[in-house]
Chain A
């Protein structure tokens, strides 16, 4: 049973560029949430996708956008990268009716220079 997978593992980008991160949920899961985790901090909720729509959003600017595909996989897009966007980006999947039971992927480490 495949767990949550994310790609790429690491990424280095320059200020002002755009980035796309990818996530495949755990088999059988239909809901995907994205989090940003800065060094020494807890994960911060970015948004959640269910049935290909953004169902809930945290306090992140519109530069952060996402998408969910019919196979439940998801992408996180960040435009106009800032140095402060450097962080570990975590994807978590769950079942809609059990959304509290989240399974996290290993994350994508984004460095903005």
Chain B
């Protein structure tokens, strides 16, 4: 079983739509969770950390469900510039990181 699993998509949504991605992880002892964004042919960039209490950054909201071992990312009022691949990252211990395969988002005008 993979350490981190994501729906590859693509998710094709119109501008202004709300879209949500989920990601499941296998190691229940995992400590930290993150969402990264990767544009086509570019390096990944940290989008946000995911806390047990949930956290929000503008149009982006991340949630963690430890009991079910999944994390989610909600994007409200989608913009064309949100088109990218979103990578779920799990940190099972302090110095090792497992990335999911990514979920591709296409925001259409």
- In angstroms, Cα B96 to Cα A44, docked, is 10
Contact check, A104 vs B95: say whether CB atoms are below 8 A apart.
Answer: no
- In angstroms, Cα B91 to Cα A56, docked, is 12
- In angstroms, Cα B32 to Cα A64, docked, is 27
Contact check, B42 vs A42: say whether CB atoms are below 8 A apart.
Answer: no
Contacts of A35 in B (CB 8 A): 99
Contacts of A33 in B (CB 8 A): 97
Contact check, B96 vs A43: say whether CB atoms are below 8 A apart.
Answer: no
Which of A90, A100, A103, A105 sits near B34, CB closer than 8 Å?
Answer: A100
Contact pattern, A 26-65, Cβ under 8 Å of B = 1, otherwise 0: 0000000101000011111100101000011010000000
Contacts of B94 in A (CB 8 A): 99
- Nearest-Cβ distance from residue B27 to partner chain A, whole angstroms: 13
Which of B42, B43, B91, B95 sits near A55, CB closer than 8 Å?
Answer: B95
Knowing A41-B101, A44-B99, A45-B98, the reply to whether A104 touches B91 (Cβ < 8 A) is no
Q: Is B16 an interface residue (CB 8 A)?
A: no
Q: Is B45 an interface residue (CB 8 A)?
A: yes
Contact check, B96 vs A48: say whether CB atoms are below 8 A apart.
Answer: yes
Q: Is B20 an interface residue (CB 8 A)?
A: no
Q: Is A102 an interface residue (CB 8 A)?
A: yes
Please provide the chain B residues from 29 to 59 with a CB less than 8 Å away from any CB of chain A in the complex.
32, 34, 42-46, 49
The list of the 3 closest CB pairs from A to B, nearest first, reads: A42-B99, A104-B43, A56-B95
Would you give 23 A-B contacts (Cβ < 8 Å), ordered by A?
A33-B97, A35-B99, A40-B101, A41-B101, A41-B102, A42-B4, A42-B6, A42-B99, A44-B99, A45-B96, A45-B97, A45-B98, A58-B96, A90-B43, A99-B94, A99-B95, A100-B34, A102-B97, A103-B46, A104-B44, A106-B42, A106-B43, A107-B43
